[in-house]
Amino acid sequence: MNKLMIEGGHPLEGTVSVSGAKNSAVALIPAAMMADSTVTIENLPDISDVGILAELLQEAGAKTELFEGTLQVNPADMIPMPLPNGLVKKLRASYYMMGAMLGKFNKAVIGLPGGCNLGPRPIDQHIKGFEALGAKVTNEHGALYLQADELVGARIYLDVVSVGATINIMLAAVKAKGKTVIENAAKEPEIIDVATLLSNMGARIKGAGTNVIRIEGVEELHGCRHSIIPDRIEAGTYMIFAAAMGKSVLIDNVIPLHLESLSSKLREMGVSVEAGDDSIHIQSSKVLNPIDIKTLVYPGFATDLQQPVTALLTKADGASMVTDTIYNARFKHTDELRRMGADIKVEGRAALIYGKTKLQGARVRATDLRAGAALVAAGLMAEGVTEITDVHHIDRGYANLEEKLTALGAVIWREELSAAEQQEIENS
């Protein structure tokens, strides 16, 4: 086991290139299994979720080859292998194996997913969609059993706007007989990316990126080549790092439109944010204004950036309020930020951050992926050295974090945990 060490106080300067989007990658890999020949996916981020999904496909008989960010998936020999346990519990997106397996084989047995613990994360809308398409779904011993004689297109209204349910229903519906309409669909850019791959495989999908998606079922899907969109959450995290410590930082390989909600909030704080064609230039300011933020579904402020921005707001001159309308327990990072000296109160779904605080380096724990990003932001700003444990959460979503930050001038490195430290974590 590793810990991440950060010596704070070093200004950031230079260019950082953003990797492919995690939340696209984790849907595109299961989507690829629906073809009858090889699908090549380029620009994959070097994160643990990608490796695990490739392994899951292999378990079910796919031939996969991952080399320097390009994954080849040959699904020709795949079988509807039950995947009730093991790897599926290591990430959230293993739920896409349900839609993909069901869509390809009319049956699937998949364990309930893992992923970040942010409070309850039900998948009732996914199940509602599968059932509307004709599947019988039962939950037995922590795994979902899905079975259909045939899948038939249907009109499905999502009670909750859900990224996962929208993509999962799309996966199950692309080969269903007839027309499927998903109403109140999520509009995240990753959904468009998945629809683009599926369309290149021969699927007929209209309206991805709007709240009504129309799918005309096809009989066969074929191989193709696809390059993933840039990760707007990774990009946003580096924008926040730059707002915290940046003299002049260029975030390269981004789609600025995907980051408008964050850009406008950073500008409100007094940060200079200049968007180019495929880059964003950030220059911080000596004085940062306090702001209020409410997370919303896309194109609103992303909940996945709520945690890192909370860390940044400890540096603002006054009180800020961050409200998370998507998850009711996404504030575990605030306990750790308090260890570093932050003055934060959590009331229900809101965190009140009283700035300006000079954070101090401390031993802290990444309780989930973006909590880890918040602690990295805090570590960059803090006086002294910050030690972050449970780095495996961070490795789910940030490719080459130390290399990218070191190139910008940060002092950050990884160390093995001693036996005593491992014991301490196991006991806590």
Ligand X SMILES: C=C(OP(=O)(O)O)C(=O)O
Ligand Y SMILES: CC(=O)N[C@H]1[C@@H](OP(=O)(O)OP(=O)(O)OC[C@H]2O[C@@H](n3ccc(=O)[nH]c3=O)[C@H](O)[C@@H]2O)O[C@H](CO)[C@@H](O)[C@@H]1O
Q: Going by DSSP bridges, is the β-strand pair 136-140/155-157 parallel, antiparallel, or unpaired?
A: unpaired
Nearer to ligand X by C-beta: 88 or 221? 88
Based on the shown chain and the rule CB under 6 A, indicate whether residue 304 belongs to the binding site for ligand X: yes
Nearer to ligand Y by C-beta: 105 or 327? 327
The CA dihedral of 315, 318, 319, 320, to the nearest 10 degrees, is -50
Point out which span in 89-97, 288-296, 314-322, 408-416 binds ligand X (CB under 6 A): 89-97
Does 215 count as an annotated binding residue? no
Active site residues: 116
Using DSSP's 3-state secondary structure scheme, residue 253 falls into coil
Based on the shown chain and the rule CB under 6 A, indicate whether residue 269 belongs to the binding site for ligand X: no
- The site partner of 370 among ligand Y, ligand X, none (C-beta below 5 to 8 Å per kind) is ligand X
Nearer to ligand Y by C-beta: 105 or 298? 298
Does 304 count as an annotated binding residue? yes
Based on the shown chain and the rule CB under 6 A, indicate whether residue 188 belongs to the binding site for ligand X: no
Based on the shown chain and the rule CB under 6 A, indicate whether residue 399 belongs to the binding site for ligand X: no
Strand order through the sheet with 179-183 = 155-157, 179-183, 212-216, 204-206
Based on the shown chain and the rule CB under 6 A, indicate whether residue 230 belongs to the binding site for ligand X: no
Q: DSSP letter at 10?
A: P
Does 122 count as an annotated binding residue? yes
Quick one: how far is CA 287 from the chain centroid? 31
Nearer to ligand Y by C-beta: 26 or 342? 26
Does 106 count as an annotated binding residue? no
Point out which span in 70-78, 87-95, 124-132, 170-178 binds ligand X (CB under 6 A): 87-95
Nearer to ligand X by C-beta: 114 or 290? 114
| Number of residues engaging ligand X in binding (CB under 6 A) | 10
**CB of 92: closest distance to ligand X in angstroms?**
4
Question: Cβ(361)–Cβ(386) under 8 Å?
Answer: yes
The CA dihedral of 338, 342, 344, 349, to the nearest 10 degrees, is -70
Based on the shown chain and the rule CB under 6 A, indicate whether residue 151 belongs to the binding site for ligand X: no
142's tokens: 């922590």
Based on the shown chain and the rule CB under 6 A, indicate whether residue 258 belongs to the binding site for ligand X: no
Rg (CA), the chain: 22
Question: Cβ(183)–Cβ(156) under 8 Å?
Answer: yes
Question: Where in 365-384 is the site for ligand X (CB under 6 A)?
Answer: 369-370
Class of residue 360 by CB neighbours under 10 A (exposed 0-12, middle 13-18, buried 19+): middle
Question: Cβ(174)–Cβ(216) under 8 Å?
Answer: no
Nearest to 126 by CA among 164, 84, 161: 164
Nearer to ligand X by C-beta: 26 or 143? 26
- The site partner of 397 among ligand Y, ligand X, none (C-beta below 5 to 8 Å per kind) is ligand X
**CB of 91: closest distance to ligand X in angstroms?**
6
Based on the shown chain and the rule CB under 6 A, indicate whether residue 193 belongs to the binding site for ligand X: no
Q: How far is CA 91 from CA 69, 282, 368, in A?
A: 19, 32, 11
Does 124 count as an annotated binding residue? yes
Does 326 count as an annotated binding residue? yes
DSSP-assigned letters across all residues of 258-269: GGHHHHHHHHHH
DSSP-assigned letters across all residues of 60-114: TT-EEEEETTEEEEE-TT-----B-SGGGGG-GGGGHHHHHHHHHHSEEEEEPP-
- The site partner of 310 among ligand Y, ligand X, none (C-beta below 5 to 8 Å per kind) is none
Contacts with ligand Y by CB under 6 A lie at: 23, 26, 92-93, 120-126, 160, 162-165, 186, 303-304, 326-327
Q: Which residues of this chain interact with ligand X, rule CB under 6 A?
A: 22, 91-93, 115-116, 304, 369-370, 397
Q: Which residues are annotated as a binding site for phosphoenolpyruvate?
A: 22-23
Q: Which residues are annotated as a binding site?
A: 22-23, 92, 121-125, 304, 326
